[in-house]
């Protein structure tokens, strides 16, 4: 079984991706004895994703993939976008990020948004990128307790429940990360 490192410290993302890639051993950073922060200081999801993958490949010498994801809200000109994880200031404070977003959209009838993920794969000395987009709308209040990040306020197109209310298998099949990872899986299966 091929082993590839997933360059993330986010346990939720790791779990989602491991379930989506059963034929590949997806190793955590901890499993390859990497501790510390991975830089992501660029202005686009594509650049951040590549920066993270390159950083881990350089530090471990292993094949690796990394993702960067942003919630892009139409009424906010694509914000929070690349700054989604630190929208309210502190990195990874989901509650504060959701509160800020809901506050900024208060009274706005345009609730259209999309989650966009870019996965960068470093494999056998070559780099490949895969994109996944999930369109939907932002709710007016949090709903559900599954998932992470903005999941309680995002309703994917064609559904009446937020990501935080949907079963993980449903979310993985339709989510931005699920779609990008499926492209990664298809690509890896062709390499086998």
* Catalytic annotation, residues: 68
Nearest in space to 85 (alpha carbons), one of 74, 72, 69, 101: 69
Helix, strand, or coil (residue 107): coil
Q: What's 61's DSSP letter?
A: -
Q: What's 12's DSSP letter?
A: H
State the CB neighbour count (10 A cutoff) for residue 41: 7
Nearest in space to 100 (alpha carbons), one of 135, 142, 137: 142
CA 1 to each of CA 6, 90, 121: distance values in angstroms, whole numbers, following the listed order: 15, 38, 17
Residues 146, 132: Cα–Cα separation, whole Å? 21
């Amino acid at each position: 079984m091929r082993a590839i490192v997933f360059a993330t410290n986010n346990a939720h993302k790791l779990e989602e991706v491991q379930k989506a890639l059963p034929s590949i051993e997806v190793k955590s950073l901890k499993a390859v004895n990497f501790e510390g922060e991975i830089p992501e200081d660029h202005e686009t999801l594509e650049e951040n994703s590549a920066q993270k993958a390159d950083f881990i490949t350089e530090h471990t010498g292993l094949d690796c993939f990394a993702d960067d994801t942003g919630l892009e809200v139409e009424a906010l000109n694509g914000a929070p976008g690349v700054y989604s994880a630190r929208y309210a200031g502190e990195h990874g404070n989901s509650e504060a990020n959701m509160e800020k977003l809901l506050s900024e959209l208060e009274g706005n009838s345009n609730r259209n948004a999309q989650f966009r993920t870019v996965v960068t794969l470093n494999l056998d000395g070559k780099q490949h990128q895969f994109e996944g987009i999930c369109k939907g709308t932002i709710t007016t209040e949090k709903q559900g307790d599954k998932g992470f990040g903005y999941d309680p306020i995002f309703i994917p197109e064609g559904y009446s429940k937020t990501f935080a209310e949907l079963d993980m298998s449903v979310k993985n099949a339709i989510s931005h990360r699920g779609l990008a990872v499926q492209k990664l899986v298809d690509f890896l299966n062709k390499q086998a």
